[in-house]
Each structure stands twice: as C-alpha cells, then as structure tokens.
Amino acid sequence: MLSNRFRRLAGVALVALAVTGCAHRNLIKDGEEYYAQGRYELAVEMYEEALKLKPNDKETQNRLQQARRDFTAWLNEVRRSANTAYDRNNLGKAMVLYGKVAQATHEQSAWDRYNSAYQTLATQHQFRIQLDSDRHIFGDDLGYGVAGLQIVKKANGKRDNEARVGMSRAPVRFNLSESVVHEVQQYVSGQVMVSNPDFIRLQGDVSDQRYQLDRAKDNLRDARRDFKRERRELESLERDLAREEKTLGKLSPADSQYDSQKREVERLKDKVSRQRDDVRRADDEVDKKGRRLDRADHKLDSLLTDFSIVPPTVLEDVYSDYHYERYILTKTASSALVMEVDGRRSDTPVSVVSEDDYYDDHYTIGLTRKSAMVESDLDMESRLNSEVRIAAQNRLKAMVSDYKQSLLLKATQVVGNDDRFDAWVAHGVAGSPGVDGFLADKMRQYLERELGRGGELDINALLALHPGA
C-alpha cells in the first residue's frame, strides 16, 4: 500500500517537473526573442519569471544579468536625454523620460524632476475660468472635480486658457398635458357546454387498453400452446429413453450391440436434458405472459373506473374583449441653462417630467377608479435644478475638452521636433491626463528613434504618474 502511494507521489512529481520545464523553456525562448529585438526590459521580465521556476539555473542567471546590464545602459541614455531636455527647458520630453527612469529605478531624483515638470506643465495648461453663478441653483462646488479646470477670481478672456463664465437658470415653465390610451382587457362573459377533453382522452385510453388486453390474452394462449407442445415432446423423449434403457439392461458388455446401444441411451439422455430446459423456459414464458395479462386487466379496470366518474361534458368560460380608456396626465417643468462665455450666450434646454395615469370604475373587469398623482411644482423645480447643475458641469467639462483639443491643433503648427513633443505632452496633461492611441504611438516612436527600444514606453502611463493626475 505504501509503495503504491510512493509511486503516485513520484508520478505527480514527474508531471510537475515536466510542466515546470516546459514553462521555463517557453520563458527563455520569449526572453531570447525580446533580447534579439533590443527590448531589454521585456527580456529581463521573461528571465526573472524563468528564474522563479529554476532558481539555481546558471544559464538563466547569466542571461538575466546580461539583459539587466543592457537595460541599465539604456536607462542611463534615457537619463542623459532627460537631463539635456530639462536643461533646454523641453519640459514635456524631460517629464516623460524622467517618468520612465523613476518608474524603472524608483530614484527619488527622477521622481522629483518628473513631479516638478508635471506640476509646471499642468499649471501652465490648466483651463481657468472666472465663474459667476447663482449659488441657490448651482451650489458652491460647481466646477470643482472637473479635471484640468481651475476656478479663479479674475480671468482674461483674451487668453486661450482663460474665460469669464456666467451661469444662470432661465425661468421655469410648467405645462400639463393629457393623452388617452385605448385599452383592451378580456373578461369572462359567460359559459358554454363543451365536450370534456379528459373524457375524450379516457375513451381513447380505454380503447387502446382493450387492444393491449386482447394482445396479452393472445400471447398467453400462444405461450400455453408452446408449453404443451414442449411438454409432449419431453414425454415422448422420456418414453424413448426408458425403452432404450430397458434394451440396454438386457445386454451384457460383451454383446456386440452393447456399445452402440449405450451411445443411443446417452444421446437420448442429452436430448431429454435439453428438452427439460425448453419446458422450463416455456413454463416461465407462461408465467410472464400471465403477469402481463393481469397488469393489462388491472389497468383496464382502473381506466373504466375513471371513465365512469368523469363527465362527458363540462362548462367552459367564454372570454370577451372589454374596451376602456386610460388617461395619461403629464406634467413638464422646462427651463434652460443660460451660459455666457466672454459675453457670448448659449442656452441648453433642460426639463423634467412627472407622469401618472387615471381611469374610471370598470367593474366588469374588476378595475376601480384611480386618480393621477403628479409631483408638486416645488419638487419638480428641485429636480430641475439638479438637471441644470449636471448640464452646467458637463458644459464646463466640454470647455476643458475643447481647450485640450486646441492644444493638439497647436502642436501641428510647432516647428522643431522636441518642441512639438513638448506640445503633445501639454495636450496630454491638460484636462483628463492622456492622449489617444494614435498620438501615443507617434510619441513613443519619436522617442524610440532617439533611444532605441531597450525599455517599454507606455506614453499614457507615463503621463499619469503624478499623484494628482
């Protein structure tokens, strides 16, 4: 028992070793491919995972050390390029490169430079508004929480990233309207006598069962006939055997006919034995067919009992359509968000609806009179104010988004590659941090042309490393 257990454990261990070995080889293969492509950071990751599976593998250790050396050399180039960009006041490029160094090495100096550059760029490219709004309608926190937006006491509308914004709510208009819906509901208008489907089903079941009973009787009769035939055949063989045994008894072993007579007796004994088996089988078949007949007879009796108590006809409900009118009372509170940006006005319609239905008594279908209940003017105005606040917040987000897109447009007009990259970063830190996938690829490719692909440059991740991003 113990040896079996040890064999099972050894088998499990061998399977685990095989799986580990396969996974290790795959990781090494991936690492080699990345290394051959000059993507040292990914190669390091693959070799580190491989080393977890085989911590003492010298070849894996050597591969990892070489990949780390090359990745470190690449990071040193990134650091030098970041320092150069920082000294030249190309803060966007410097920020992204310092971010990569900080991300990979956790150097405090790189973090400090990254955060400083980010803070400078984010401050320079925040959208600032001087906001004048009705606190009763909009509250005290309008605009707060909008990424890239700063509320200031005074703004210069001539600057691209500043605006004077006034927000108010237009007067509220209440309107009541009514519509009618034509409804149809069925009701029981009477009853009619129809054939009982259970009675009809039982008729069919009784007919089928009578047929089954007749078949069971025929089968039993055939089985009894077969039994009698097999029994007669057995009796005939037994008489033949008795006669031949009697003849054999009159012969002595020395007689010339003795052996042949003995063989005849043995042959008949064998036939008698087989025939007795046939008789037993025929007798069993009679019993089986008899039991089937009893079951069929009992089932027919049960069906006839049910048939005698099921009525041939039943009353069935008659359904008719009842038409009535249901009225919809709709109350609408309408207004508009009035927004002035540097003297230019725009209105955003806002409305809320309260709706209920009413109808008269309709006793035929069990429907009792119902009155319509709609919200009060005060409650609807409160809901309307909430919608106006949401609309105002969305308009402010849209203003920041428009400004963010304007920075992208400006970037296309910038001369000088590093300066254009700075403009892309300015677009990336304005508003919600990040750029679209196409621009992120473009920015990554620009840096890779200078620095190679030794490390992975996830632009959007590098734009959002700052705690306030």
Q: Specify whether 122 is located in the same domain as 210.
A: no
Residue 107 covered by a domain: yes
pLDDT at 158: 79
Residue 375 covered by a domain: no
Residue 140 covered by a domain: no
Amino acid (1-letter code) at residue 456:
E
Residue 376 covered by a domain: no
Whichever domain contains 216, its CATH number is 1.10.287
Residue 185 covered by a domain: no
Q: Specify whether 106 is located in the same domain as 206.
A: no
Q: Specify whether 120 is located in the same domain as 224.
A: no
Q: Specify whether 110 is located in the same domain as 221.
A: no
Residue 46 covered by a domain: yes
Name the residue range of residue 284's domain: 197-310
Q: Among 259, 285, 310, identify where a domain stops.
A: 310
Residue 6 covered by a domain: yes
Q: Among 251, 286, 310, identify where a domain stops.
A: 310
pLDDT at 324: 96
Q: Among 288, 310, 332, identify where a domain stops.
A: 310
Amino acid (1-letter code) at residue 95:
M
pLDDT at 15: 44
pLDDT at 192: 93
Residue 352 covered by a domain: no
pLDDT at 9: 52
Q: Specify whether 203 is located in the same domain as 300.
A: yes
What tokens appear for 368 in the block?
């009792």
Q: Specify whether 114 is located in the same domain as 228.
A: no
Question: Is 418 in contact with 4 (CB distance < 8 Å)?
Answer: no
Cα–Cα nearest to 308, from 199, 194, 204, 210: 199
Specify the residue for token string 């009787």: 217
How many domains does one find in the chain? 2
Q: Which residues of the chain have pLDDT under 70?
A: 1-21, 468-469
Q: Specify whether 10 is located in the same domain as 116.
A: yes
pLDDT at 277: 95
pLDDT at 187: 93
pLDDT at 67: 92
Q: Specify whether 208 is located in the same domain as 301.
A: yes
pLDDT tens, position by position, 362-421: 999 999 999 999 999 999 999 999 999 999 999 999 999 999 999 999 998 988 889 999
